Structure formats: structure tokens, C-alpha cells
Structure 1
Amino acid sequence: MDLTNAVAVVTGANRGLGRILAAQLLERGAAKVYAAARRPESVDLPGAQPLYLDVTKPESIRQAAAIAQDATLLINNAGISTHTNVTDGDLDTIRLEMETHFFGPLGTIRAFAPVLAANGGGGILNVLSVLSWVHPLNYGAYASAKAAEWALTNAARAELADKNIQVTALHVGYMDTEMADYVAPENKTDPAVVAKIALDGLAAGLPEVLADEFTRAVKAGLAG
């Protein structure tokens, strides 16, 4: 899709990759960027329009979609990582991972797809993870939720194609953001590079974007 003059809604846009995606969209000539966050007062990006949206609260999703009636692009970026195991971890925490990474994006897609369609179509970018495919110890809840979001992304792509809405998945490993502050710098990717790769892929109409070498190697090895 053409990102010039796009009207974008970016969830989790007050920090990390979300803020960078919002900034790069403005740099590419987006007509408007709604910087959606649970605390819109924390949005400090010049040129962006703060928007209250908590992906774990369906009513806030409905309210955000009612405000952003001019949207042509939805970026599902909001996320958490609780480092919770599935076999002995707290069930409420596991549910929170699913609410954030599966039911949240499901809710935003269901709310915004009619908006995008009414505006002639557009795009959806779901920020996923290499852990959609790899499920290491201490990441069971996160990996399970991201695997579910991957399936959601693929299903939504097929269901929305006739509405002129493209759906792109971004898969990436560790990025140099607050969420991965415990990871050694040499094992993290610059989120500005990830954002550029993601937006280039979205603009090119790609169904899937693999943002780093580790992610590409994992995807290539799935058949094995």
C-alpha cells in the first residue's frame, strides 16, 4: 500500500518500536498518525495525535475506532512479555498474554476493518515474533500467544482480501527496546532498522516480513 497520505493507528506508540513506527510513518508523509496508548498523555511524538486505546479493554477499542474513522492503516504493536511458563505459571498472567497478543489484535482488527473498507481499503501490520515458531523455556505464555496471533494474521489476510485490505506479519527477534533491556546489546536489532524493513514490506504488499537473520534462519528451518 502507498504509505504517503496514509492515516495510521499505531497501538503501543508511546515507546519502543511503536513510537519509532509512528515517527517513520510521519517521515514518509503519512497524513495523520494516531499514536494509541493506554496512557495517551505519555505520547511525546511531535505531529502524532494521541489516542486512548488499551487492547485488553474492548470498550476502549470501540471508542478508538469511533474516533479514528479516517484510518487506512492499523498497526498492532502493543505487547508485553511476562516470562511465564504455561505448565506452572500463573493462569491470570497467561490470560493477560493472550488478551494482549491475541484477543487484543483480534478486537482491533474487527473494529477497524470496517473503517478501512469504508475508506477504500488499506493495510494491517501485526507485530509478531520469531517466538511464533520457537518456544523456549520461560517464554511459554508469550510464545503461545504469538503463535496464536500468527494464525490470526494468516486467517485475517484471507478473510479481508476481498475488502482491499492487505495484512502483513512482522516477525523479529530481540530488539534494543525497554522490553529486552536484559539482553546483551550484540543480540539485539536496532528497532529503527526493524521499523524501516517493516514499513518497506508493508508498502510493497508483502504478506510476511522477516526482520533479522536469526528470524530468517528459524523460518527457513521450520520444515526440518
Structure 2
Amino acid sequence: MTSLTHATVLVTGASGGLGKALVRAALDRGADRVYAASRTNTEWHDDRVVSLHVDLADAESVELLAAQTRDATVLVNNAAVFPRGDLLTADWDVVENTLETNLTGPLRLTRALAPSLRAAHGALVNINSVLSWLAVGKAHSVSKAGAWMATNALRLEFAPDGVQVLGVYPGPIDTPMQPGDDRSGMADPADVAAAIYDAVEAGDDELVYGPTAEKVHGALAAPVTALYPALASR
């Protein structure tokens, strides 16, 4: 388990709805410093927050971010993109950027910051998704499925060093990433952020958040048609 009190936290995707909530919640729990990294600048009006730029699809940008945050004790890989489009028809550049941003970039950042996480016996938090287990997100789902397995592998690799690895699998969250005007049934980002840090401080391995994620997670051992009923009519 890892305390947020006096922690130095790096949150990627900090300009988004959940990212902002994660930054604020870390401060509320007593973090000494929060690195808020994103592709767009956000004014935080708090001396404890250091705004940094990162493009996770750019290896040099990731390495620069790692060099600026070597004292991080908690890494929250939150940034993600969610393009719409099928794997067989979307522009390949879009598919490739999704994989780089959601999977390869976070893994590259984790590798770069592994020494500081090990030295602090800190925590790695990977914000994955219910779409790690459900293919409706197409390229996004592919990237998040990879992030799910990377999280499991990293947990095994970090275990001898006392680094906690938390995989987070929420259902729909009320953020700009979610399409449509109907926000009913979507979780409040502040509530999700609070649950994430509760899980960090409890030493948990996974957080499956919300009824949608719980339902999908529970169906993983069932036949494929449990998650994709349209296939039953083939």
C-alpha cells in the first residue's frame, strides 16, 4: 500500500475530466507535488502543481517528461485517445496513434521511471477501461486490452521491489471523451478519482468500478456470445 501523504505524483492526461480530478484528489490527500502532464496547458493556481507537456505518441516527448519527473513516487498513466472508426477501415495513422498513446507510450514512461518507483517503493496506477474486455471501442479496445496485460506483467516484474501496481477498469465516466448528450449512468470523475486513491492506499491490485465494468468483467469466462450476442445468429 502507498500513502498519498507527502507523495510526488505524476498524472498524464491531466487536462481531461478524470485527469483533473486525479490531480485535485492527490493534492487533497496531502501530496507534496503533482506533475500534471498533458498535450495542452492547464492553469492550476496551486504552487504544488507543475504543468508539463507530453505527447505519449512521441518517444522523445516521453523521455523528456521522464527526465523532468525522476522524483515521482506514484505514476498514474491516465492519458488516452478514443478515436471512432473500425480497425479495417480507419486511417492506419489513427490506429497507430491510438496504440502509441494508449499502450506503447505509457509503457515507455513506466520503464523510464522504474528506478524512481523502485527506490520509493511507490505505486504504478494504470487507468485502463471496461473496454479492455469489450471490443466495441475498436482500436481503443485493442490498446486497452494490451494495457490490461501489460499491467499484469508489470505487477509481476515490480513485485520483488515492493512497487504496487494497480489496474483500474471503470465503466463510462462523465468526461468529454464520452460521446452524446445523455450523461445518465455515467460516473462522476471526482468519485472515480477518490476510489482510485482509496485502492492505492489499501494496497489493492485491481479496481473494477461501476456496474457496467462489473457486468463485463463477470462475463469474461462465459462464451463469446455473452458479450457479443449478435454473434449468436451466425
Q: TM-score scaled to structure 1, two decimals?
A: 0.94
Alignment of 1:141-180 (within 5 A): 141-180=139-178
Structure whose CA Rg is larger: 2
Alignment of 1:62-73 (within 5 A): 62-73=63-74
What's the counterpart of residue 133 of structure 2?
133
Q: Given the superposition, is the C-alpha separation of residues 71 and 151 from structure 1 closer, same or farther in structure 2, using an over 3 Å criterion?
A: same
What's the counterpart of residue 74 of structure 1?
75
* Contact 2:171–2:211 (8 Å) recurs in 1: no
* Contact 2:124–2:165 (8 Å) recurs in 1: yes
Q: What SS does the aligned partner of 1:84 have?
A: coil
Unaligned runs of 5+ in 1: none
Q: What amino acid does structure 2 have at the position aligned with 1:131?
A: L
Give 1:51 shift. Answer: 1.5
Q: What amino acid does structure 1 have at the position aligned with 2:198?
A: D
Q: What amino acid does structure 2 have at the position aligned with 1:13?
A: A
Q: What amino acid does structure 2 have at the position aligned with 1:57?
A: D
Distance in 1 between the 2:178 and 2:15 partners?
Answer: 16
What's the counterpart of residue 94 of structure 1?
95
Alignment of 1:171-210 (within 5 A): 171-182=169-180, 184-210=182-208
Question: Which is further off, 42-51 or 101-110?
Answer: 42-51
* Contact 1:8–1:75 (8 Å) recurs in 2: yes
Give 1:214 shift. Answer: 1.1
Q: TM-score scaled to structure 2, two decimals?
A: 0.90
Give 1:90 shift. Answer: 1.5
* Contact 2:125–2:165 (8 Å) recurs in 1: yes
1:216 aligns with 2:217: no
* Contact 1:84–1:142 (8 Å) recurs in 2: no
Q: What SS does the aligned partner of 1:185 have?
A: coil
Distance in 1 between the 2:57 and 2:13 partners?
Answer: 12
Distance in 2 between the 1:87 and 1:44 partners?
Answer: 41
* Contact 2:122–2:163 (8 Å) recurs in 1: yes
Alignment of 1:46-61 (within 5 A): 46=46, 47-61=48-62
Distance in 1 between the 2:122 and 2:169 partners?
Answer: 20
Q: What amino acid does structure 1 have at the position aligned with 2:18?
A: L
Q: Given the superposition, is the C-alpha separation of residues 217 and 183 from structure 1 closer, same or farther in structure 2, using an over 3 Å criterion?
A: farther
Give 1:42 shift. Answer: 2.5
Give 1:181 shift. Answer: 4.2
Deviations 1:33-70 (A, max 9, x none): 0011123x324353311112221111122122222121
Q: Write out the 4+ residue segments of structure 1 that deviate beyond 3 Å after TM superposition.
A: none
Q: What SS does the aligned partner of 2:184 have?
A: helix
Distance in 2 between the 1:42 and 1:50 partners?
Answer: 7
What's the counterpart of residue 36 of structure 1?
37
Distance in 1 between the 2:92 and 2:62 partners?
Answer: 24
Give 1:5 shift. Answer: 0.9
Q: Given the superposition, is the C-alpha separation of residues 45 and 208 from structure 1 closer, same or farther in structure 2, using an over 3 Å criterion?
A: farther
Across the aligned residues of Structure 1 and Structure 2, the Cα RMSD in angstroms comes to 1.3
